[in-house]
Structure 1
């Protein structure tokens, strides 16, 4: 059985006849190792007549190669992936901790916001309620009195969040 297994799969880095090296990715080689187990005659006369995926596994050792070299290679491959998985888990946990810290450290949403115009010293454009999604990026938090004064001075109220209604200003 060992000779036939080597005849189909060859050694690591060599072809089945031992003449020229193969160029195959490690994961493709590993998957081929796992998916290649002897099966019976149902595929006689086809390309899969000697090897195919098992229909039902009786033992885990049925899918493992029989020789020590390949078993150690599989162990090394799994250890490498476990290390990668542990590093990815640690990075994801760190990102989650940072996200939660950012949520806790985020300043509270202001009650009132004034959207500013483009350029230095340009007048305000609109008054918004603090959590309005229509407020632009150029904005500044203001107090209730400043928002009232801005509306009285003629600065437009946002049509989405209606700060004039919330402040009790009838326009």
Structure 2
């Protein structure tokens, strides 16, 4: 009988720990980014190295203070891919990071696949927005756009 109690306690503790870890990863640290806030202003780096605001509508975003990699944003832009490609720096090796499941506008797997096939184009938003972290923007021909932050080469050394 005593062994059943110990085993039950271990199983219950593991279930509670698993539920707590899931909650912390998916919900606890994320907060919405208000469209009128400074964090919602998406910028792009032009070919001369200057950074300027990008035209963006219908911004929806999340962020967390616990990590600079937790930023995600979804928005629309009236800027054409031709204009963007001629004016702004393309981003080498964009890798959208998977966000929480409840933030449904950002599908990192789809965005990543579209970047690989050329259905979307990635641009450098801001280099070292945090030390070792770049903000990247992916834009589709229809004006859909997505932003995230990923480690750059200085952080990988």
Q: What TM-score do the two structures reach when normalised by structure 2?
A: 0.29
Whichever structure has more helix as a proportion of its residues is 1
Whichever structure has more strand as a proportion of its residues is 2
Asked which structure has the greater RCO (Cα within 8 Å, sep 6+), the reply is 2
Q: What TM-score do the two structures reach when normalised by structure 1?
A: 0.27
